[in-house]
Amino acid sequence: MSEAKALLNELSDAVVAGNVQKARKVAERVVSEGLSASVALDKMMEAMRVVDKKYVRKEYFTVDVAAASTAMREAFKVLEPYLRVKPAGMEGRVVIGALEGNIQGLGKDIVAAALRSAGFHVVDMGVNVSPETFVDSAIREKAQVIAISVSVNETVPYLKDVVNALRQKRISSNIKTIIGGWAVSEETCKEYGIDAYAKDAWECVKKVRELLSR
């Protein structure tokens, strides 16, 4: 196994174990050894999917998931300045947040960082954002895209309220919607009338470009 691969595996293991100090130290080594921050981030996202599966199988509890999230967040702080995303080549304003009932903001933070790295103007609304707040903020910020993170299954139906609010204000043709997170999929888009779905931060950058060029 190459040194680079071993280091990335070490980072993944630290996140799964919720070892905050180790995750940060390994992330620092990733940077100092010139490895791709984007590849390291992808590896950590894989690690969080492992954590999620362990939680579903009841091998992990809420406290374990929280520890893993904290470990990833600390490593992400180290990696964020080194993210390399292909410039968007266009101007665009995006309002982003985790939908009402979603209090985990790590995935959303990563997507926001990727969008900023690509050159988009990003307004981060934080977590537990109501449908009305998403729409009002998009209007106030003159945003062309609303990016919504959804990681809790029970909150998915709130997407209908976002779409309805845009239609009622007759701005659904001007403000596009994109979703991501563990609780949503391409099927969710079709069911709720969302414009696009992205499986990760890099795909979100690509899909936002596509939405803006329509």
Query: For the residues 172-192, what does the mean pLDDT come to?
Result: 95
At residue 82, the pLDDT reads 87
At residue 86, the pLDDT reads 62
> Quick one: the chain helix, strand, coil %, rounded to 5?
60, 10, 30
Q: Where in the chain is the domain with CATH 1.10.1240.10?
A: 3-82
Q: How far is CA 113 from the centre of its chain?
A: 9
Which residues share a beta bridge with 195? Answer: none
CATH code 1.10.1240.10 for 3-82: yes
Q: Domain 93-213: which topology?
A: Rossmann fold (3.40.50)
Q: Where in the chain is the domain with CATH 3.40.50.280?
A: 93-213
Measuring CA to CA, which residue among 209, 165, 158 is closest to residue 181?
Answer: 158
Residues 6+ apart with CB under 8 A from 82: 31, 37
At residue 85, the pLDDT reads 64
Q: Output the pTM of the full model.
A: 0.75
Q: Is the pLDDT of residue 52 over 80?
A: no
Of all residues in the chain, the percent with pLDDT exceeding 90 is 61
Confidence of residue 212 (pLDDT cuts 50, 70, 90): very high
Q: Is the pLDDT of residue 117 over 80?
A: no
